[in-house]
């Protein structure tokens, strides 16, 4: 299953992959961009993330285990449209000052592709967020063009997401509204709004023809001026639309790390409400919010102390009043902790009851995290081709979406 998906994903990403590799040559790997087809009599072999090569023989059959159909109906009642998991790795090395070493990125590659395939086929999930740093995509050169090689490597993950059958593949620029400590459009020596908009225009032009690709303008802004931030966000939205991405979802976040709980109190809602499409409408401009359930909303403790019912009710009512929608693109808890198995499920029940204004939720996180990570939603591949999810994904992230929570 893994290798089949990888082949599909690579085939979709660029014409070069249609070429045939030479005998015993490389045919796969997380950062490999060359030909993926092997000569007659050979097949692409190897489970190594970094290197797969052509070897004599025929590919072993992929797993024949029975699979559920990809689209599962909720058992009863209402539900949000989208649910899934963050596939992290290209954002590794970023801290909250927006300092990200372009070389710290850790492409999830075939592992991420396999996880997404599993989440869609086995869990009925349909939305993935694909964090990546700004520095990685421009190879560390502020104001520079998008680096074709780095984009091609990141694009393998985007194409794997699309090939998985997901309905939403979100590009998330994981920079906290900053470049190396300076707030975009606000600090001396920071990127200008024009530089940020030009960067988004290039990305949007590449993915404008695919409505499954959503543009997450920025991860978790914080400690900035809301009024000025709204100007930056407007510049990005205008650039994305002008680049031809006229109908893709654009996800716009407020301050306090995109906190859903402080979106209204801290003025993000008021500041971001006017952000609009070039034609003056607000179609598919979606508020991007995050919410954890631990004592300080930081997502660093395994215990969950709240179900956030009040938060999502208050925000949901405000969204209804303003006829707008929001997407919860980070949430989660300890993967086996009973307090989270209760509270995260209840949070999603509240969101399901507001499914007219909440598009969905995306859990944090799978991808290249170690399964021992405090908020791990990393599934474990089994020898027979099946996967084992953490209880939090089974019960809440997927369970509250497909009606299997019990
Ligand atoms: C934010 O910036 C605007 C425009 O420069 C300014 O008028 C306002 O006072 C600033 N707000 C704060 C809280 O500093
Ligand atoms: C943000 O909102 C919280 C309450 O949700 C409040 O305690 C805090 O003072 C606010 N901060 C700012 C800067 O407005
Ligand atoms: C969330 O917790 C509150 C307080 O414990 C409770 O009243 C409410 O019913 C819970 N919400 C859901 C959806 O279970």
Ligand lying closest to the C-alpha of residue 223: 2
Domain assignment present for residue 379? The answer is: yes
The yes-or-no verdict on residue 17 having pLDDT over 50 is no
Q: Which atom of ligand 1 is nearest to the CA of 228?
A: 2
Instruction: Name the nearest CA neighbour of 172 among 221, 211, 113.
Output: 221
Domain assignment present for residue 100? The answer is: yes
CATH, residue 376: 3.20.20.80
Q: Average pLDDT, stretch 70-90?
A: 80
The yes-or-no verdict on residue 4 having pLDDT over 50 is no
* 313 in contact with ligand 3, CB cutoff 6 A: no
The yes-or-no verdict on residue 67 having pLDDT over 60 is no
Domain assignment present for residue 44? The answer is: no
Domain ranges, residue 376:
4-19+70-402
* 346 in contact with ligand 3, CB cutoff 6 A: yes
Q: What are phi and psi of 359, to 5 degrees?
A: -70, -35
The yes-or-no verdict on residue 406 having pLDDT over 60 is no
> Does residue 289 contact residue 327 with C-beta atoms inside 8 Å?
yes
More confident residue, 64 or 292: 292
Dist. CA 180–CA 98, nearest whole Å: 5
Per-residue model confidence (pLDDT) at position 70: 44
Ligand lying closest to the C-alpha of residue 312: 3
Q: Which atom of ligand 3 is nearest to the CA of 349?
A: 13
Domain assignment present for residue 27? The answer is: no
Task: Give tens-digit pLDDT for 284-303.
Answer: 999 999 999 999 888 999 99
pLDDT band at 244 (very low <50, low <70, confident <90, very high): very high
Number of structural domains the chain divides into = 1
Gap from CA of 331 to ligand 3 centroid (Å): 17
Q: Average pLDDT, stretch 296-320?
A: 96
Three-class SS of the chain: CHHHHHHHHHHHHCHHHHCECCCCCEEECCCCCCCCECCCCEEEECCCCCCEEEEECCCCCCCCCCCCCCCCCCCCCCCCCEEEEEEECECCCCCCCCCCCHHHCCCCHHHHHHHHHHHHHHHCCCEEEEEECHHHHCCCCCCCCCCHHHHHHHHHHHHHHHHCCCCEEEEEECCCCEECCEECCCCCCCCCHHHHHHHHHHHHHHHCCCCCEEEECCCCCCCCCHHHHHHHHHHHHHHHHHCCCCCCCEEEECHHHHECCCCCCCCHHHHHCCCCCCCCCCCCEEEEEECCCCCCCCCCCCCCCCCCHHHHHHHHHHHHHHCCCEEEEECCCCCCCHHHHHHHHHHHHHHHHCCCCEEEEEEEEEECCCCCCCCCCCCEECCCCCEECCHHHHHHHCHHHHCCCC
Domain assignment present for residue 37? The answer is: no
Residue nearest to atom 14 of ligand 2 (CA): 266
> Angle CA(141)–CA(143)–CA(149) in degrees, nearest 5?
50
Q: Which atom of ligand 2 is nearest to the CA of 267?
A: 14
Dist. CA 108–CA 127, nearest whole Å: 16
Domain assignment present for residue 287? The answer is: yes
Per-residue model confidence (pLDDT) at position 16: 45
Domain assignment present for residue 33? The answer is: no
Q: Average pLDDT, stretch 18-36?
A: 89
* 353 in contact with ligand 3, CB cutoff 6 A: no
Annotation marks residue 220 as catalytic = yes
Nearest-10 Cα torsion for 257, 208, 83, 309: 40
Dist. CA 345–CA 343, nearest whole Å: 5
Q: What is the mean pLDDT of the chain?
A: 91
Q: Average pLDDT, stretch 258-276?
A: 97
Task: Give tens-digit pLDDT for 175-230.
Answer: 999 999 999 999 999 999 999 999 999 999 999 999 999 999 999 999 999 999 99
Most confident stretch, 28-32, 60-64, 258-262: 258-262
Domain assignment present for residue 56? The answer is: no
pLDDT band at 403 (very low <50, low <70, confident <90, very high): confident
Per-residue model confidence (pLDDT) at position 64: 55
pLDDT band at 121 (very low <50, low <70, confident <90, very high): very high
Per-residue model confidence (pLDDT) at position 335: 98
Q: Average pLDDT, stretch 320-343?
A: 98
* 376 in contact with ligand 2, CB cutoff 6 A: no
Per-residue model confidence (pLDDT) at position 105: 95
Q: Average pLDDT, stretch 30-48?
A: 89
Annotation marks residue 349 as catalytic = no
> Does residue 44 contact residue 28 with C-beta atoms inside 8 Å?
yes
Per-residue model confidence (pLDDT) at position 383: 87
pLDDT band at 65 (very low <50, low <70, confident <90, very high): low
Residue nearest to atom 14 of ligand 3 (CA): 346
The yes-or-no verdict on residue 30 having pLDDT over 80 is yes
More confident residue, 10 or 39: 39
């Amino acid at each position: 299953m893994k290798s089949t998906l990888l082949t599909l994903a690579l085939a979709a990403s660029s014409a070069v992959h249609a070429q045939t590799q030479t005998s015993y040559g490389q045919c796969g790997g997380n950062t490999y961009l060359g030909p993926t087809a092997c000569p007659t009599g050979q097949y692409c072999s190897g489970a190594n993330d970094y290197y797969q090569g052509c070897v004599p023989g025929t590919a072993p059959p992929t797993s024949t285990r029975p699979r559920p159909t990809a689209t599962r109906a909720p058992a009863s009642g209402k539900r949000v449209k989208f649910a899934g998991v963050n596939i992290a790795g290209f954002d590794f090395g970023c801290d909250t000052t927006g300092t990200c070493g372009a070389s710290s990125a850790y492409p999830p590659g075939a592992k991420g592709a396999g996880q997404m395939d599993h989440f869609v086929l086995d869990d009925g999930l349909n939305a993935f967020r694909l964090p990546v740093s700004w520095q990685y995509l421009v190879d560390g050169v502020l104001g520079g063009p998008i680096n074709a090689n780095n984009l091609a490597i990141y694009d393998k993950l985007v194409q794997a997401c699309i090939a998985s059958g997901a309905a939403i593949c979100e590009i998330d620029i994981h920079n906290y509204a900053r470049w190396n400590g300076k707030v975009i459009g606000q600090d001396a020596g920071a990127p200008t709004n024009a530089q940020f908009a030009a960067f988004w225009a290039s990305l949007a032009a590449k993915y404008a023809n695919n409505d499954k690709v959503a543009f997450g303008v920025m991860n978790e802004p914080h400690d900035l001026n809301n009024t000025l931030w709204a100007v930056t966000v407007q510049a990005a939205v205008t650039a994305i639309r002008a680049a031809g991405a006229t109908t893709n979802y654009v996800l716009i976040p407020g301050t306090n790390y995109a906190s859903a709980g402080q979106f209204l109190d801290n003025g993000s809602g008021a500041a971001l409400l006017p952000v609009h499409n070039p034609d003056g409408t607000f179609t598919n401009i979606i508020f991007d919010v995050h919410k954890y359930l631990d004592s300080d909303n930081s997502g660093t403790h395994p215990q969950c102390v709240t179900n956030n019912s009040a938060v999502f009710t208050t925000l949901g009512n405000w969204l209804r009043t303003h006829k707008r929608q929001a997407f919860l693109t980070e949430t989660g808890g300890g993967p086996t902790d009973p307090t989270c198995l209760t509270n995260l499920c209840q949070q999603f029940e509240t969101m399901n009851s507001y499914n007219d204004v909440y598009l969905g939720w995306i859990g944090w996180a799978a991808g290249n995290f170690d399964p021992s990570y405090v908020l791990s939603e990393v599934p474990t591949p089994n020898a027979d081709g099946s996967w084992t999810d953490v209880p939090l994904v089974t019960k809440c992230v997927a369970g509250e979406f497909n009606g299997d929570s019990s």
